[in-house]
Chain A
Amino acid sequence: MINWANFISQCFNGLVTGALLALISSGLTIIYGTLGVLNLAHGAMFMLGGYAGWLAYSYTGSYLAAVAAGSLFVMVVGVVMERLIIRHFYTRPHEDQLLVTFGLGIVFVEAVRFFFGSLSQTVPPPAALAGITNLGFMIYPTYRLALLGIVAVALLVLYFVLYRTRIGMIVRAGIEDSVMVDSLGIDVHRIFMLVFGIGAMAAGFAGIVNAPVVSIAPDVGEAILVQTFVVVVIGGVGSFPGAIIGGLIAGEIISITSMFNPGYSYIMLFVAMTLVLVLRPHGLLGQAGRE
């Protein structure tokens, strides 16, 4: 028999996980859509966000400082990475781009391990959001509830930036056809740098706001990266709405399967991905020819 209270609480967990995955995947997908580079270091960006935030927290004791530090640091890492290395790879084959970002991911993970060790670290939630909340029909950790709101706001901000600003319009045009944008007299390389920074920041932000829920460790990004890939395959590469739908689907699959047997959550995720690949090879909201 299914325990309904447990079921609803797992659905909520799925929503939280899904929203986080949606945010991380949007970062990955706008980078890929605009620059044509699949960033295999994206999981490491998530991890770096957590660590930068944790470091800021251990000096200041402030949650807000941690979130700001986590996001900004990863954005800077993203921009520097794009300027120093990635931009030399735009004209090289996809395989080389995968190799170099994969290598960078390892360097980031191992550098963190070198400085902070392999032990996991925790960032406590801010005092106001600690404890649990009684929602009437169930009791739920307050921070997770708040996390849903925080990530939703972040996604809205990202949506606003992408769909309601001048820069966003250029970025979306770049996703459609970056050569055309370049020939319209817009410096597409500055946009590339910006997009890489924003995309990385999405992962870094997710990394630090998630830190009070799951403790951080150097290899925490690896599992996230795999889940992000599934999200992007389900949603369709280069599609922001696809990343959100894919993220929510993946989050619910992971949570609901975990209720029965956590060991099967990946298998169900894989089944969902396979179904999408068979029925809609370009993803739920993806377009043909964007590969």
Chain B
Amino acid sequence: MNIKRPYLVELLTAIALILAPFVLPWLGFSPSTINRILIWGLFGLGFDILFGYTGLLSFGQSAFYGTGGMFAAYLLTEANFPYVIVAIVLGAVVAGVVGYFIGLIALRRTGIYFAMITVAIAEVFFFVEFNPLSAYTGGENGLPGVPTPAFNIGFTVLKFGSDWTMYVFLAFWYFIGIVIALRIVRSPVGAILSAIRDNPLRAAALGHNIHGYKLTAFVVAAIYAGFAGGLLGTMQGFMPPDAFMFDTSGQLVMQTAIGGAGTLFGPLVGATVWLYLSDFFQNTLHLGATWKLVLGIVFVLLVVFLRRGIVGAIVDLCRVARNGTKAVEPVGFTTTGTASFDPAAIKPMPARRRGNGPASGPILHATGLSKRYGGLLANSDIDFSVDHGEMRGIIGPNGAGKSTFFRMLTCEVPPTSGKIVFEGRDITGKSVTDVCQLGLTKSYQINQLFDRLTVRRNLTIAALGETRGKFRLDLFKSLHNVVGLDEQVERTAALVNLTSRLDTPVSELAYGEKRRLEIGLALATSPSLLLLDEPLAGMSPRERIETVALLKSIARGRTMIIIDHDMDSLFELVAKVTVLQEGKVLVEGTPAEIKNNAKVQEAYLGGVHGEMA
């Protein structure tokens, strides 16, 4: 978001909300339509955090909308509870609690499974409302007689009975809703949510408990839904049972997609378009029931042609207008005309010491490590030890099991048998997230970046894992207030020479730059043991030389294990080399010893099992 004008969006929203009742009626909006738009917009704020920011498409939001609304309406009617706002807040809380438990089930799976499970859950809520709980919810009749809010402020009583006073009431809550949503989106949690959307596996590998954050987004969405449901009851004076219907969830999804997901304002804009068209088709064109068919067609066309919705299209247009044709050339390590890039001159990033074990002796010790995939034995009985501060190389022909070995060390896959001890701690069977938090991480052979985010955001997400631990609910803290974060990001960017590209989206980077960012992501977590899986792959000879210099520079005060096929570069870097062949350790030694080892030469130059000899 914009740093220079921190409250611009909030200010513009407030102005728009104040102007709306003077402008919109001229365009043919009735006051009750405007009020309904606000409720859908508020409902959609939470949904957009869940879908647009976290990438979890739920078709079951009606469950929470209905639950919150029904709970508040029940309090206000059957239970004679006098305080409207308190009832609505309690409804939102109940929706949030329900959301927590539903989230525990639904978030066991992602993608289409998640979508299917949420559909099923929403349907269950619908039937529960209609049948077992009909004594409380009025079944198919709903709950009539929900009072409108009234506040006694001493000398007079503020009532929100008419359409326009209700508008003031709803606009106030929408404004509160957007302020909170903006804070969440701009918080460290917001950054991690967008990381989960773009690349959940890497987000987990950078030390974030992604399940916890997904559950957070789910609960936030449920609270927003519950609150909006409560507002619906008090606005209509009646809590309708169709709040629970699948159509409600569907309409929310469609409005958000029309308006643009991941923009916060998308659901509001989508609701405006949707409700306006539905009024227009029904009242002006007298289409009768056909309006839904026309809207359905409009929706399909929008999904096909306008991928990011209306708000997304406007944002894109603005960006094009502002940047014009200003294209940025990719930056190599040595840009022509400037001094050669020298990573050694940059202040090194020391590894953060997590444990309090001895800083000498073995940092990593694996014994009897094996991995079996069905009938394939990828690694068998590997004993491997690396000392503090060592630079170790691992080589081996393709299929030797090098990457599998790395995946076991970082706990991405559990070993079939064997034990891994890192800094005196047994990490066998731990999660990749925990291991990253302990100070062991990896840069991937195939880039695992957050493609839709900028370089700065990518590095921020990596650095957050180090500064915040694996899970923290600082939902309202600004990213700029995280101590040491900006410094960490900028220093990492300087080390991998991406300072001039900090605000470029990853999808626009050149391949070499992406490779450097890949290393940067691992580095930004301040690991004490850094694994690099083929860091030089795909680089030009010149980039290789410079990356080797970079690796030397980041090795200060850090242990590194490097897999690569570029032996000249590798032998220059490391003090000791382990050779893997067919899942076993073939030999270990200094580069000079390895170069002259007959077994290694045979492994690389043929002579399969000596049969060819």
Contact = CB atoms under 8 A, between A and B. Distances in A.
B354 interface: no
A187 interface: no
A110 B117 contact: no
B268 interface: no
A38 interface: yes
Contacts of B127: 263, 266-267
B92 interface: no
B120 A230 contact: yes
Contact of A110 (B128, B261, B292): B292
B113 A233 contact: yes
B303 A106 contact: no
B195 interface: no
A100 B304 contact: yes
A94 B112 contact: yes
Contacts, number: 116
Contacts of B299: 103, 106
A264 B292 CA distance: 31
A85 interface: yes
A226 interface: yes
Interface string A54-88: 00000000000000000000000000000001001
B108 A94 contact: no
Interface string A92-105: 10111011101110
Contacts of A270: 120-121, 124
Contacts of B292: 106, 110, 113
Contact of A237 (B55, B113, B120, B289): B113
Interface string B110-125: 1111011101110110
A281 B104 CA distance: 13
A156 interface: no
Given A226-B120, A233-B120, A100 B55 contact: no
**Which of B254, B292, B303 has its CB near the most chain A CB atoms (within 10 A)?**
B303
Contacts of A111: 293
Nearest to A281: B108
A173 interface: no
Given A96-B303, A263-B131, A281-B108, A38 B289 contact: no
Contacts of A223: 123
Given A38-B112, A277-B117, A291-B111, A102 B250 contact: yes
A230 B292 CA distance: 27
Contacts of B225: none
Nearest to B132: A263
A98 B112 contact: yes
Given A104-B300, A233-B117, A99 B108 contact: no
A104 B296 CA distance: 7
Given A114-B290, A263-B130, A278-B108, A96 B116 contact: no
Contact of B296 (A95, A110, A262, A281): A110
B253 interface: yes
A274 interface: yes
A263 B140 CA distance: 13
A38 B115 contact: yes
B257 interface: yes
Contact of A291 (B110, B130, B132): B110
A118 B261 CA distance: 33
B285 to A, nearest CB: 14
Contacts of B109: 277, 281, 291
A77 to B, nearest CB: 14
A106 B57 CA distance: 18
Contact of B300 (A94, A100, A113): A100
Contacts of B110: 291
B539 interface: no
A211 interface: no
Given A237-B113, A273-B117, A99 B303 contact: yes
A240 interface: no
Given A107-B293, A229-B116, A232-B116, A94 B105 contact: no
Contacts of A51: none
Contacts of A252: none
Nearest to A291: B111
Given A96-B303, A114-B290, A103 B296 contact: yes
Contacts of A114: 289-290, 293
B51 interface: yes
Contact of A98 (B57, B117, B120): B57
Contact of B303 (A103, A225, A232, A273): A103
B405 interface: no
**Which of A266, A267, A273 has its CB near the most chain B CB atoms (within 10 A)?**
A266
A230 B119 CA distance: 9
Interface string B278-313: 000000000001101100110110011001000000
A175 to B, nearest CB: 15
A223 B130 CA distance: 15
B113 A291 contact: yes
B174 to A, nearest CB: 25
B304 A85 contact: yes
B293 A96 contact: no
A153 to B, nearest CB: 28
Contacts of A113: 289, 292-293
Contacts of A32: 112
A125 B110 CA distance: 42
B246 interface: yes
Contacts of A103: 254, 296, 299-300, 303
A42 B61 CA distance: 21
Contacts of A277: 105, 108-109, 117
Contact of B293 (A98, A102, A110, A263): A110
Complex A-B, nearest 6 residue pairs according to Cβ-Cβ distance, in ascending order:
A263-B131, A110-B293, A229-B116, A106-B296, A103-B300, A107-B296
26 contacts: A88-B304, A92-B307, A95-B57, A96-B307, A98-B112, A100-B300, A110-B293, A114-B289, A114-B290, A225-B119, A226-B246, A229-B120, A232-B116, A233-B120, A237-B113, A261-B131, A263-B131, A264-B131, A266-B124, A266-B127, A267-B128, A269-B120, A270-B120, A274-B105, A278-B105, A291-B109
Interface of B: 51, 55, 57, 59, 105, 108-113, 115-117, 119-121, 123-124, 127-128, 130-132, 246, 250, 253-254, 257, 261, 289-290, 292-293, 296-297, 299-300, 303-304, 307
Given A95-B51, A103-B254, A237-B113, 14 more contacts: A88-B304, A98-B59, A102-B253, A103-B300, A106-B292, A223-B123, A226-B123, A230-B116, A263-B132, A264-B132, A267-B124, A267-B128, A291-B109, A291-B112
